[in-house]
């Protein structure tokens, strides 16, 4: 099996915060579909945008996750920030797609994309497995070499 490569940076973050953020994303996406509130999906897209494309330290969901980690006294584990930024960019694209599909009344297609997003977020939350690194290795790196 090929070694996985992730984007790297000098910045470090506490691994527990993205994991709890992933849980909050899962709950918000489920609530969006359960209560038929596409505006929640748009808010998640905005949250991903902040994490992916701005220099702000926290988005609303990651800020809430930070406080939850602090309140629960979960020990910090420093990790590289770059893979999480790449994953946030993927999350942004997916949530924009879901929002657009819901707006166009393509509910089944929106649910399929949401299912993929939920799967990736569940891997992050439960196992600290970043699906973004796998996608980066097998999709982005080969395309960037061409």
Q: What is the DSSP string of 17-55?
A: HHHHHHHHHHHHHHHHHHTT-HHHHHHHHHHHHHHHH--
* pLDDT value, residue 1: 44
H helices of 54-106, where? 60-72, 82-103
- The residue behind tokens 């038929």 is 36
User: How large is the average pLDDT for residues 76-92?
Assistant: 92
Listed by start position, the domains of the chain span 12-145
User: Is the model's pLDDT at 8 over the cut of 80?
Assistant: no
% of the chain surpassing 70 pLDDT: 95
Encode pLDDT of 54-63 as tens digits. 999 899 999 9
């Amino acid at each position: 099996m090929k070694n996985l490569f992730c984007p790297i940076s000098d910045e470090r973050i506490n691994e527990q915060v993205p994991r709890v953020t992933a849980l909050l994303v899962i709950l918000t996406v489920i609530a969006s579909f359960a209560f038929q509130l596409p505006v929640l999906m748009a808010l998640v897209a905005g949250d991903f945008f902040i994490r992916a494309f701005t220099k702000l330290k926290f988005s609303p969901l990651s800020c809430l996750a930070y406080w939850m980690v602090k309140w629960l006294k979960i020990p910090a584990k420093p990790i590289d920030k770059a893979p999480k930024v790449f994953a946030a960019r993927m999350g942004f694209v997916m949530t924009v797609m879901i929002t657009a599909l819901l707006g166009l009344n393509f509910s089944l297609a929106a649910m399929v994309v949401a299912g993929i997003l939920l799967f990736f977020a569940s891997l992050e939350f439960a196992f600290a497995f970043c699906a973004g690194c796998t996608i980066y290795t097998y999709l982005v790196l080969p395309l960037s070499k061409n």
